[in-house]
Amino acid sequence: MIKAVTGTKDILPSEINRWYYLENIVKEVFINFNYKEIRTPVFEETALFARGIGEETDIVSKEMYTFLDRSETSITLKPEMTAAVVRAYIEHSLGTLQPLNKLFYISPMFRQERPQAGRFRQFHQFGAEAIGSTSPLLDAEMIEMSYNIFKRLGLKDLVVKINSLGVPQSREEYKNKLREFLSDKKDMLTEESRKRFDKNILRIFDSKIESDQKIMKDAPLLIDYLDEESKNDFDTVKEYLTKVGIPFVVDSALVRGLDYYTKTTFEVISNKVGSQSALCGGGRYDLLIEELGGKPTPGVGFAAGMERILLACENENSFALSAPSIDVYLVKLQPGPETALSAGKLELELSRIASELRSNNISSDYDYIGRSMKAQMREANKLNAKYVLFIGGDEYSRGELLLKNLADGQQKTFSKDDINRIISEVRQ
């Protein structure tokens, strides 16, 4: 039997309401902050990610789904969105249409990582990018939007971590200090960290190995080497977050992998999802747009992992969600003694009424597989139907339909020619 590829999963109908719920909140919050949705293709030319994310990063060096298509073009399934959004921004000259573009997305992503709880090979992210302003208020806005979404989902056990990486010049000075600090300790680092020492020294802070962490505990901190502008911007971010009541901690080890990050970086962590605890991460990338061939333009953004967020919701029991429900389930009874209609005609009449309800935006369904009345009622309950509409029996012989409210058990009869009254009753 052919199964779904390792690290991918089906989202089944029983789970879909949770996805809708999350997606609706995401859209509402972004639209509230005046962000507009952008949808880009699932695949791009490989060079975009190699340049946009950085050759040395784990994503590009180990995790991309890359292949040659039939015309020998190297194609990559998108592992993240920022590079793709920036490509679209440059390609369509969005910056000439308006100076600041506030964009959001909801999209599948692909990374060939080792599958484990909270880590998939196809997963989904939502996120935002604001391109065209250096204002630190936008950095804070990214944190605020993600925090708002998590709060509206009912997540409580969250930690917002922030840091500033400064500008390249101050970062270079700091990297020298770090090299100096590590020069006599290099041999004690793990092999992976020794590699990072040469390629991307800041990422030694990302090491999860205790012996590395012990060494890095006493390392000089980037935050103490910030240039004046980065320091001021970081202060503004902190001041704004305090003003709007978002708790945060400054984590100077939060370096994030990408070379093009500048100034603010942040992550929101949940204590409820095990070892893969980052729900979202983001930061400012004032150098990326130029790197990808656009005019020098500042930008800031974040991405959040939807599978992990849903897991956090589940673990915090925060789904105030009822099971999927429909408005009306139509139940067919035996035709009454004086009904002129045959069973077949009665069924057609039932489906016509369902059609009329559906045209009026009342969600409805009925039985197509000849189940008994009892089994039809069981189905109505399983679907969490708000009402059952009975068609047939003595009522129908009298020209009436019986509507039962399943929540309180109340029943009302309506003339079978007056579906509009049923519609009004259901809408109440």
Q: Tell me which residues touch ligand AMP (CB under 6 A).
A: 80, 111, 113, 118-120, 123, 125, 278-281, 303-305, 307-308
* Phi/psi at 162 (5° precision): -130, 160
253/304 with CB nearer ligand AMP: 304
Q: Which is nearer to ligand AMP, 269 or 422 (CB)?
A: 269
- The residue among 173 and 192 lying less far from ligand AMP, judged by its C-beta, is 192
In whole angstroms, how far apart are CA 184 and each of 4, 190, 253, 303? 49, 14, 21, 37
* φ, ψ at 296 (rounded to 5°): -55, 120
CB of 123 to ligand AMP, least distance (A): 4
β-pair partners for 304: 126, 280
Considering the complex, what minimum distance in angstroms separates the CB of residue 51 from ligand AMP? 17
Residue 401 and residue 339 in contact, taking contact as beta carbons nearer than 8 Å? no
Cα torsion 419, 420, 421, 423 to 10°: value is 90
Smallest gap from Cβ 120 to ligand AMP, in A, equals 4
103 or 280: whose CB is closer to ligand AMP?
280
Torsion angles phi and psi, residue 337, rounded to 5: -60, -35
Distance in Å, CB of 253 to ligand AMP, minimum = 16
Minimum distance between the CB of residue 55 and ligand AMP, rounded to whole angstroms?
16
**Tokens describing residue 205:** 């802070």
Would you say 295 and 130 are in contact if contact means Cβ atoms under 8 Å apart? no
Tokens of residue 141, six digits: 């806005």
Smallest gap from Cβ 303 to ligand AMP, in A, equals 4
The answer to whether 22 and 306 are in contact (CB under 8 A) is: yes
Nearer to ligand AMP, 279 or 380 (CB): 279
Closer by beta carbon to ligand AMP, 202 or else 389 = 202
> Residue 305 CB, nearest distance to ligand AMP (Å)?
2
Number of residue whose CB is nearest ligand AMP: 305
Task: Specify the residue, 88 or 273, whose C-beta has the smaller distance to ligand AMP.
Answer: 273
By beta-carbon proximity to ligand AMP, the closer residue of 281 and 335 is: 281
Phi, psi dihedrals of residue 354, rounded to the nearest 5°: -60, -40
* 385 burial level (CB within 10 Å; 0-12, 13-18, 19+): buried
CA–CA distance from 355 to each of 35, 180, 184, 363, 424 (Å)?
37, 76, 78, 10, 16
Determine the Cα–Cα distance for residues 39 and 185; give it in Å rounded to an integer. Answer: 47
Q: In the complex, what is the shortest distance from the CB of residue 361 to ligand AMP, in angstroms, rounded to a whole number?
A: 36
